[in-house]
């Protein structure tokens, strides 16, 4: 419990959940730096941190993230900045003799038309989804870098690939957010307008609503990270998912009911759907002992409650880089 653990991106949704979980179970020597304190794109600054702090464990929860719109608008930044962030962390960890490195990626690393559910061995067997291939290519490079270090140096570097995440401290900016938090905000603001004007307000959503998606509460991912921290996993890559998926139309209806929005939903089929289905096979990690515990309705209800309690911050912040430090 005294080992020094550096959590890169500890202010973001994922990093803060991991920090909370580690503190809760008794870890006492956690290290974090905000993006104002440390620019992870700066190799010299990252190496200086490792030289000074000498962490035993590094958890990489730092990334530039966003939904389809952000990925399409900033392809170069999503590729280059994620490469810079993870390469600096991985190499500094290797050079500093870090005992364990946990790299967090995304289910978008798998081919667009890969068989469902997605298995770890499907990596690099087909073309990627074009709307987020820039982010995916960066994350694939991180996975392979950790695998190479594990193979060449025998070090305990492991990659966890979570499915679509949501929860407290998510990004609710409609320009850069993922589908679930964007829906929460859209339905909430329409519901508020309905109450103010007594007129039913429709909500417009992207695509056809037919794609299938799997969602995992960020606290369940934090549990998976703790499991990887406390066990030497026999392989280099593990999926982390809930185990079932839902259509985007079903997700919209669920969120609409939780938020109490009464208006209609209009689907803009001219907008891209993204990958038809993303459902991950997480059986490798589950067989070792990790299991998710927060079902989707409970998780969305908790997330909406957090959103209501933090509306001022949500409205004022326009997030482009999350968890940069």
79 is in an annotated binding site: no
310 is in an annotated binding site: no
Q: Is 208 annotated as a binding residue?
A: no
User: Is 105 labelled as part of a ligand binding site?
Assistant: yes
**Residue 12 among known ligand-binding residues:** yes
Residues designated as active site = 135
d(Cα 64, Cα 324) in Å, to the nearest integer? Answer: 7
CA dist., res. 28 & res. 22, Å (int): 8
Does 186 show up as a binding residue in the annotation? yes
Q: CA–CA separation, 93 vs 257, rounded Å?
A: 46
213 is in an annotated binding site: yes
32 marked among binding-site residues: no
The annotation status of 163 as a binding-site residue, yes or no, is yes
Task: Provide the token pair at 92.
Answer: 């500094």
Chain-centroid distance, C-alpha 242: 14
139 is known to lie in a ligand binding site:
yes
Q: Is 13 annotated as a binding residue?
A: yes
> In which region does residue 130 sit, left (phi positive, over 0), alpha (psi from -120 to 50) or beta (all else)?
alpha
Which residues, at least 6 apart from 178, have a Cβ–Cβ distance to it below 8 Å? Answer: 65, 66, 67, 164, 166, 170, 171
Q: Pick from 238, 245, 246, 241: which is nearest to 221 by CA?
A: 241
**Residue found under tokens 């990270």:** 225
Binding residues: 9-15, 104-107, 139, 162-165, 178, 186, 206, 213, 273
Per the annotation, where are the binding residues for substrate?
Answer: 186, 206, 213, 273
Q: Which residues are part of a known binding site for NADP(+)? A: 9-15, 104-107, 139, 162-165, 178
């Amino acid at each position: 419990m005294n080992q020094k653990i550096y959590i890169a991106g500890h202010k973001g949704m994922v990093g803060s959940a991991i920090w909370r979980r580690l503190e809760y179970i008794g870890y006492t020597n956690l290290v974090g730096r905000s993006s104002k304190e440390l620019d992870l794109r700066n190799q010299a600054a990252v190496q200086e941190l490792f030289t000074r702090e000498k962490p035993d464990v590094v958890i990489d929860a730092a990334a530039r993230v966003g939904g389809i719109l952000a990925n399409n608008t900033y392809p170069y930044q999503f590729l280059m900045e994620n490469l810079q962030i993870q390469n600096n962390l991985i190499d500094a960890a290797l050079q500093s003799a870090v005992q364990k490195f946990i790299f967090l990626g995304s289910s978008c690393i798998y081919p667009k038309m890969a068989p469902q559910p997605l298995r770890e061995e499907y990596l690099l067997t087909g073309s990627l989804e074009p709307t987020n291939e820039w982010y995916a290519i960066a994350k694939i490079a991180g996975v392979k870098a950790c695998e190479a270090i594990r193979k060449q140096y025998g070090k305990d570097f492991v990659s966890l690939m979570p499915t679509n995440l949501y929860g407290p401290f998510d990004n609710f900016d409609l320009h850069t957010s993922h589908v679930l938090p964007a829906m929460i905000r859209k339905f909430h603001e329409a519901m508020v307008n309905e109450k103010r004007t007594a007129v039913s307000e429709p909500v417009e959503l992207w695509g056809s609503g037919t794609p299938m998606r799997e969602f995992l509460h960020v606290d369940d991912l934090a549990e998976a990270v703790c499991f990887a921290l406390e066990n030497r996993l026999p392989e280099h890559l593990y999926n982390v998912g809930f185990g079932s998926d839902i259509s985007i139309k079903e997700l919209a209806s669920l969120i609409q009911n939780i938020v109490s929005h009464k208006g209609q939903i209009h689907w803009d089929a001219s907008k891209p759907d993204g990958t038809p289905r993303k459902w991950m096979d997480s059986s490798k990690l589950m067989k070792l002992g990790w299991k998710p515990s927060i079902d989707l309705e409970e998780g969305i209800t908790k997330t909406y409650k957090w959103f209501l309690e933090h509306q001022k911050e949500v409205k004022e912040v326009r997030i482009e880089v999350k968890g940069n430090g």
